[in-house]
Chains A and B, each alone.
Chain A
Amino acid sequence: MGSEYAIEMLNITKRFPGIIANDNITLQLRKGEIHALLGENGAGKSTLMSVLFGLYQPEEGVIKKDGQVVKINDPNDANALGIGMVHQHFKLVECFTVLDNIILGVEPTSKFGLLKKDEARRRVVELSERYGLQVDPDAKISDITVGMQQRTEILKMLYRDNEILIFDEPTAVLTPQEIDELMQIMRNLRAEGKSILFISHKLAEIMAVADRCSVLRKGKYIGTVNTADVTMEDLSAMMVGRNVNFHVEKKECHPGDVILHVDNISVASRTHHKDAVHRVSFDVHAGEIVCIAGIDGNGQTELVYGITGLEPLKEGKLELQGKDITKASIRERSLSGMSHIPEDRHKHGLVLDFTLEDDMILQRYFEKAFSSVIGFMKRPNIRKYSEKLIDQYDIRSGQGSATTVRSMSGGNQQKAIIAREIDKDPVLLVAVQPTRGLDVGAIEYIHRQIVAQRDAGKAVLLVSLEMDEVLDVSDRILVMYEGEIVGELDPKKTTPEEMGLYMAGAKRDSERKED
């Protein structure tokens, strides 16, 4: 013992063809601290963590545990050293229960190989009480909230007696209340002597919970600071190398004609018998940003599916520029001027194993510019178009148009989608959590693009779970609760507290009550 550090990564360098992902990076995690790792997308955070888990071997540098040099060849080595991680995309078996997921791989068994679940359950319950991690051990993963899934992941680490806990952008998927709970959980863990590495690019959260913060920028190590000694603006400047404008600058809103008319629509739920969206009506005008706010899982996803055609409507009517699109196919809606930035960029937005240029034309590959009448793709045109978008939207990747999209960072993947959807020149832009999991620089950029679309007279329907985003970007707020619109708010007049009451179902506009 003797070392004050639980884990140290000293002078780590990792190169990939055409790029230095980590350039002489040092990260020292003290015992019993919450240490934030801050950096934009593509700054090298994921690579550094992959090195720590033995997925990549660094060209230079050493890793020390308790002052001793260790060699980590694969994730099993990392586990043996007591390092555990909650990934941004959870690694849970959907059709298993919480308990089964927690014990997966370390199942306690009797002599004859039979599972001793009672013993496991006792330990899980004990752990969850000790750290304030509320879970139902017998609920199936597919049935529980994202927050509870995350708590399951945390319990998985604790069950394995991990001492070093890594949280990879844990708040990206959580509601504001769940974020507060998570912060408290992290403090509890610290109080119990765990060392926590908190990967994030949300400055407020880092300031709220972390003791120290290390900053990476473009693969380089910028420095480590005590959060008590710095301001959010300082951290932001360290991260992006310039001062970021926190508030979205936008001109007065001048709504024009009705572009999207939603009339009493309902969408059936896939998981239960109640409607996921129940008799929702609203309009979106040209030149305004209407934001659907609400806690995750209150029907926003299904509402967007209904509007964009991914799910059929149970009842009601949709009009786009006065044209009835209730029964129109996805392609017809797209050709009528609807663009859709989907909630899940990996599931819907991109074919990850395509090259970047092939993903760029996903919505217009059938146009004359990209494929000939007899059906041959026009490769030179596709390349030219892709290069134009890459240039215009500053999309960074290893090999330009020929890069496999899977290998790109999340922020650049999202930029590619946004470039594709905006360049289609839509009359209506439906954007669902367009900044999810992105860093400050990218968020600012995307907000500017959305506002620019509004100023260009486009109608924008934004779905967001981020309170700040809702208040900063939108011209009109509709709050959704349990499949219904319960309130319409003016972002200039409302407060986060008032919005929270609507979102939690504690308040609703009287005229919105069911007739």
Chain B
Amino acid sequence: MQKERTPLLRKPSVQTLLASLVCILLGLLIGYIALLIINPAGAGQAIIAIVKNFWTYSKPATQIKNLGMTLVKTAPLLMCSLSVLFAYKVGLFNIGAAGQYVAGAGACIYCAIGLGWGWLPCMIASILAGALVGSISGILKAYRNVNEVISCIMLNWITLYLVNTLLANVKEPTSNYTYVISRHLVMVDGTATTVANPGAIMPSLGLENLFNNNKYVGLALPLAVLLAIAVWVLLNKTRLGYELRATGLNKNAAKYCGMQDRKNIVLTMAIAGGLAGIGAAMLYLTGLQQWSVTQSSVPSMGFNGIAAAFLGGLNPIGTIFSSLFIQHITDGGSFLDMRVYSAEISDFISSLIIYLCGFVLFFKTTLNKSLDRREEKAIRMAKGGKAS
């Protein structure tokens, strides 16, 4: 048995990274061309604004504060992409991360405002709510062979309206938004009033100071990164991961060797749902956003998770960076000149990038072929050299 060192460019991880970078560049380029067509005057500026995001500001202090904002939203996106990735490794396409995320949001917001719980029990409630929604799709798939994509899409809507209904109980009387998360709604003598519940906000761990007192930066991102690593460990180093990968790659073989494929499918969807659920907690328990109980579209976080998972090469560690990137350009969209373009143009560009991710395999094959040719040439040269 001989072991040769694989050249750097031949390593699958390096190739995936390169392919993702090519996707990003091509996506930006095509996006630029589209902007040119819409309005040539501002295209260059617009694409720069998207890529620059917070660097648009000249003061470093403002820059760092806005970097913080991007990071705050990266954490939930990362969790959603881990949710998609985890299910995908077991051969399931979890398009329901969006709905599981909504369930997690509903759970933590209600537990904080309606019940006055602290952040940790709220977060656990989010995990359980997401896991519950995920496992419904899992059970349908395992025991009734219902396609998980269909059940997930339907559950997305069911969950959204259920959560809207639930959260209508904790909304401000004068608006469609729920109370801020640090208030606890109580009934005093038949009238609703709120009392402070600062415990519902996730601890900042002193991280806010690093980002120019951006009070929303806190536990979420480090926790999300830790969970990404945990997902990697779970998939690659544990017995459960071994079983799940076997089921995902060949469910007949998994059955043949006595793995309980049905149980594994339900478990996978429950874990995926839990990951999306905790993602929602990571956003809403910062107090950054309030829930609008009249919203009629599923938040895009879960769907962006699909994008981040694929851009990250379906590698938990890769998704850390892809989530950051996608959140970065999504936020960059808000720096566009609104008189010329709409903010959705950044969604358009990130979707272009995702679309191009489908070509990752193509890039890899092309790269391998050109490497083959170069090696062949080298061999021929070496032979020619010997002959002369």
Which A positions have Cβ atoms within 8 angstroms of B? 17-18, 57, 59, 310, 329-334, 340, 342, 347-354, 358, 362-363, 365-366, 371, 375-377, 379, 399-400
Closest chain B residue to A342 by CB distance? Answer: B256
Q: Are B255 and A334 in contact (CB under 8 A)?
A: no
Q: Are A351 and B238 in contact (CB under 8 A)?
A: no
Which chain A residues border B255 with CB–CB below 8 Å? 310, 330, 348
Contacting residue for B249 out of A353, A363, A377, CB 8 A: A353
Q: Determine whether B190 belongs to the interface, using a CB cutoff of 8 Å to chain A.
A: no
Instruction: Give how many B residues have a beta carbon under 8 Å from the other chain's beta carbons.
Output: 27
Which chain A residues border B242 with CB–CB below 8 Å? 358, 365, 371, 377
Q: Are A350 and B253 in contact (CB under 8 A)?
A: yes
Q: Main SS of chain A's interface residues? A: loop
Closest chain B residue to A365 by CB distance? Answer: B242
Q: Are A351 and B250 in contact (CB under 8 A)?
A: yes
- The answer for the CA separation of A342 and B1 in the assembled complex, in Å, is 29
Which chain B residues border A350 with CB–CB below 8 Å? 250, 253
Which chain A residues border B257 with CB–CB below 8 Å? 330-331, 334, 362-363
Tell which of B1, B250, B257, B379 has the most Cβ of chain A within 10 Å.
Answer: B257
Closest chain A residue to B6 by CB distance? Answer: A17
Which chain A residues border B254 with CB–CB below 8 Å? 351
Q: Determine whether B386 belongs to the interface, using a CB cutoff of 8 Å to chain A.
A: no
Which chain A residues border B374 with CB–CB below 8 Å? none
Q: Are A348 and B253 in contact (CB under 8 A)?
A: yes
Which chain A residues border B250 with CB–CB below 8 Å? 347, 350-353
29 contacts between A and B (CB under 8 A): A17-B4, A18-B4, A57-B372, A59-B376, A59-B379, A310-B256, A329-B260, A330-B257, A330-B258, A342-B256, A348-B255, A348-B256, A350-B250, A350-B253, A351-B246, A351-B249, A351-B253, A353-B250, A354-B249, A358-B242, A362-B246, A362-B253, A363-B257, A371-B238, A371-B242, A375-B238, A379-B237, A399-B1, A400-B1
Q: Are B239 and A18 in contact (CB under 8 A)?
A: no
Which B positions have Cβ atoms within 8 angstroms of A? 1-4, 237-243, 245-246, 249-250, 252-260, 372, 376, 379
Which chain A residues border B240 with CB–CB below 8 Å? 375
Closest chain B residue to A335 by CB distance? Answer: B258
Task: With both chains docked as a complex, state the minimum distance between the C-beta of B202 and any C-beta of chain A, in angstroms.
Answer: 28
Which chain A residues border B379 with CB–CB below 8 Å? 59
Which chain B residues border A310 with CB–CB below 8 Å? 255-256
- The answer for the CA separation of A18 and B249 in the assembled complex, in Å, is 27
Closest chain A residue to B373 by CB distance? Answer: A57
Closest chain B residue to A350 by CB distance? Answer: B253
Task: With both chains docked as a complex, state the minimum distance between the C-beta of B292 and any C-beta of chain A, in angstroms.
Answer: 42
- The answer for the CA separation of A362 and B247 in the assembled complex, in Å, is 11
Q: Are B238 and A377 in contact (CB under 8 A)?
A: yes
- The answer for the CA separation of A121 and B260 in the assembled complex, in Å, is 47
Q: Are B258 and A348 in contact (CB under 8 A)?
A: no
Q: Are B1 and A352 in contact (CB under 8 A)?
A: no
Tell which of B3, B239, B254 has the most Cβ of chain A within 10 Å.
Answer: B239
Q: Are B239 and A376 in contact (CB under 8 A)?
A: yes
Which chain B residues border A332 with CB–CB below 8 Å? 258
Q: Are B256 and A399 in contact (CB under 8 A)?
A: no
Contacting residue for B258 out of A331, A342, A371, CB 8 A: A331
Which chain A residues border B1 with CB–CB below 8 Å? 399-400
- The 5 residue pairs across chains A and B that have the minimum distance between CB atoms: A331-B258, A330-B258, A348-B256, A371-B239, A375-B239
| Beyond A376-B239, A400-B1, 17 extra complex contacts between A and B, CB < 8 Å | A57-B372, A59-B379, A330-B258, A331-B257, A331-B258, A331-B259, A350-B250, A351-B246, A351-B250, A352-B249, A353-B250, A365-B239, A365-B242, A375-B240, A376-B237, A377-B242, A399-B3
Closest chain A residue to B379 by CB distance? Answer: A59
Closest chain B residue to A331 by CB distance? Answer: B258
Q: Are A376 and B252 in contact (CB under 8 A)?
A: no
**Given A18-B4, A352-B250, residue A330 in contact with residue B239 (CB < 8 A):** no
Q: Are B256 and A354 in contact (CB under 8 A)?
A: no
- The answer for the CA separation of A400 and B238 in the assembled complex, in Å, is 22
Task: With both chains docked as a complex, state the minimum distance between the C-beta of A416 and any C-beta of chain B, in angstroms.
Answer: 13
Closest chain B residue to A15 by CB distance? Answer: B379
- The answer for the CA separation of A353 and B89 in the assembled complex, in Å, is 12
Q: Are A377 and B239 in contact (CB under 8 A)?
A: yes
Tell which of A17, A333, A340, A362 has the most Cβ of chain B within 10 Å.
Answer: A362
- The answer for the CA separation of A145 and B346 in the assembled complex, in Å, is 55
Which chain B residues border A349 with CB–CB below 8 Å? 253, 256
Task: With both chains docked as a complex, state the minimum distance between the C-beta of B251 and any C-beta of chain A, in angstroms.
Answer: 10
Task: With both chains docked as a complex, state the minimum distance between the C-beta of B234 and any C-beta of chain A, in angstroms.
Answer: 9
Task: With both chains docked as a complex, state the minimum distance between the C-beta of A65 and any C-beta of chain B, in angstroms.
Answer: 23
Task: With both chains docked as a complex, state the minimum distance between the C-beta of B357 and any C-beta of chain A, in angstroms.
Answer: 20
Which chain B residues border A331 with CB–CB below 8 Å? 257-260
Closest chain A residue to B253 by CB distance? Answer: A351
- The answer for the CA separation of A57 and B369 in the assembled complex, in Å, is 10
Which chain B residues border A400 with CB–CB below 8 Å? 1
- The answer for the CA separation of A379 and B254 in the assembled complex, in Å, is 20
Task: With both chains docked as a complex, state the minimum distance between the C-beta of A20 and any C-beta of chain B, in angstroms.
Answer: 12
Which chain A residues border B237 with CB–CB below 8 Å? 376-377, 379
- The answer for the CA separation of A377 and B245 in the assembled complex, in Å, is 13
Closest chain A residue to B369 by CB distance? Answer: A57
Task: With both chains docked as a complex, state the minimum distance between the C-beta of B337 and any C-beta of chain A, in angstroms.
Answer: 48
Task: With both chains docked as a complex, state the minimum distance between the C-beta of A42 and any C-beta of chain B, in angstroms.
Answer: 15
- The answer for the CA separation of A366 and B240 in the assembled complex, in Å, is 9
- The answer for the CA separation of A340 and B2 in the assembled complex, in Å, is 33
